[in-house]
Amino acid sequence: MTVLSVQSIADLIPADMDALALKISMARGLGEIMGAVRRTARRLVGADGITFVLREDGMCHYADEDAITPLWKGQRFPLENCISGWSMLHREVAVIEDIYADARIPHAAYRPTFVRSLVMVPVREDDPVGAIGAYWAHQHRPSPDSVDILRRIANSAAVGMTNVALINSLAAAKEEALRAKDAVILAMASLAETRDSETGNHIRRTQHYVRALARAAQTHPAFALQLSDAVIDLIYKSAPLHDIGKVGIPDSILLKPGRLDQQEFAIMKTHAELGRRAIADAQQHLGVSSTFLDLAQEIAHTHHEKWDGSGYPNGLKGSDIPLSGRLMAIADVYDALVSERIYKPAFPHDEAVAIIAAEKGRHFDPDLTDIFLTIADTFRTIYNRFGDGPLQLQTA
């Protein structure tokens, strides 16, 4: 092992300590902190081994080490039974020149190891969260300088561990907010579903149709760039909100058994803009910018636009219609056609497919219509899986 004179240790320290403090301050996890500490500490104090011990529910967890031969990495001992625990409980540094002459040491645990001398410093002295141990294979009187270096390293580690704990609790809070957001979205979607009870599983089915269609479109050069797996997942998740605006439509129109007159249909058409606004408001209240809710807005707003420009609310034409809206249009209309609605009977699958095919380039994006035709069987399967039963789908 290297024996450093007091003078050369003192020369080395400032730059090394600064580098270590910087590395620790940027660490995003405990592993990074422990890794930096064990390497630097071993070099600076010329030890044969370094351990990094974490205090965990009354136990000393020997979480990391850097040593000539293995020490106790991965093991846990009660705080009362180990010197790191002693150091944490007493908030004191232990300097032990001969471990076999010190009653605080559990000798049996040391016999299989190389250790003769050690220094143990608590991490965060006022309320220890861990300890750093330095070990020597020969009997060695650790210098006050080495003890001082270890204490300074422990102070840097304490700052780093506090940062990491803060980062983790922020991440947990963010995770919590995301889960709350998902719950709100589900609640919104099921509200729409309850109002429009005729549509039953419509919302769930359209989600699966739109994903199946998007996956098929992914292999088409015209769409591949826009349809990453992540985008498809977002479309799948936001699709349930496409008709959320229907919660703003009066029952007398929404649940009218017969055909809507022109004025009623004009009101019905506002559901696209109402939906966009409802999601935008929700987004503002949640105070988050979310790709997911941006996409949900886009889908709610544009799922009734038509390729030839005759749709609503804005009469967008061709590829001016966002791809998400063009995908949703096919999913939505297929499901409306094969389902019984309060205002219409169910069409058989083949008839629904024929109606959609006839609208290629009029209502629907021609390329997406072709893609739909290649996977129409998948749509039928999805309907049967989530529908009210296969009988409604018997081919005429």
Residues that bind ligand C2E (CB under 6 A): 256, 259-260, 268, 304, 332-333, 336-337, 341-344, 355
The answer to whether the CB of 308 falls within 8 A of the CB of 361 is: yes
> Judged by CB under 6 A, which of 38, 195, 202, 211 binds ligand SIN?
211
315 Ramachandran zone, left/alpha/beta (phi>0; psi -120 to 50): left
Choose the one of ligand C2E, Fe ion, ligand SIN, none that binds residue 72, judging by a C-beta under 5 to 8 angstroms depending on kind: ligand SIN
* Residues in Cβ contact with 139 at an 8 Å cutoff, skipping those fewer than 6 apart: 97, 98, 116, 117
116 binds ligand SIN (CB under 6 A): no
Nearer to ligand SIN by C-beta: 21 or 386? 386
106 binds ligand SIN (CB under 6 A): yes
Backbone angles phi, psi at 48, to 5 degrees: -85, -10
> Judged by CB under 6 A, which of 41, 63, 82, 353 binds ligand SIN?
82
Q: Which stretch binds ligand SIN (CB under 6 A): 6-14, 20-28, 79-87, 299-307?
A: 79-87
The answer to whether the CB of 364 falls within 8 A of the CB of 319 is: no
The CB-of-299 to ligand C2E minimum distance in angstroms stands at 13
Q: Which of residues 217-256 bind Fe ion (CB under 5 A)?
A: 243
Choose the one of Fe ion, ligand C2E, ligand SIN, none that binds residue 61, judging by a C-beta under 5 to 8 angstroms depending on kind: none
Q: What is the dihedral of CA 324, 325, 331, 332, to 10 degrees?
A: 150
Choose the one of ligand SIN, Fe ion, ligand C2E, none that binds residue 280, judging by a C-beta under 5 to 8 angstroms depending on kind: none
Residue found by looking up tokens 């009734």 in the block:
304
Residue found by looking up tokens 């009066």 in the block:
250
Q: Which stretch binds ligand SIN (CB under 6 A): 75-83, 177-185, 237-245, 286-294?
A: 75-83
Nearer to ligand C2E by C-beta: 178 or 358? 358
The full DSSP string for 219-244 is: TSTTTGGG--HHHHHHHHHHGGGTTG
Residue found by looking up tokens 């080395």 in the block:
12
* Burial class of residue 102 in the structure, from the number of CB atoms within 10 Å of its CB (0-12 exposed, 13-18 middle, 19+ buried): middle
Q: For residue 29, how many other CB atoms are within 10 A of its CB?
A: 12
Beta bridge partners, 94, equal 120
The CB-of-59 to ligand C2E minimum distance in angstroms stands at 59
193 binds Fe ion (CB under 5 A): no
> Judged by CB under 6 A, which of 44, 164, 282, 382 binds ligand SIN?
382
The CB-of-209 to ligand SIN minimum distance in angstroms stands at 8
Among 338, 232, 321, smallest CA distance to 272 is for 321
Choose the one of ligand SIN, Fe ion, ligand C2E, none that binds residue 68, judging by a C-beta under 5 to 8 angstroms depending on kind: none
Contact residues: Fe ion, CB under 5 A? 243, 332
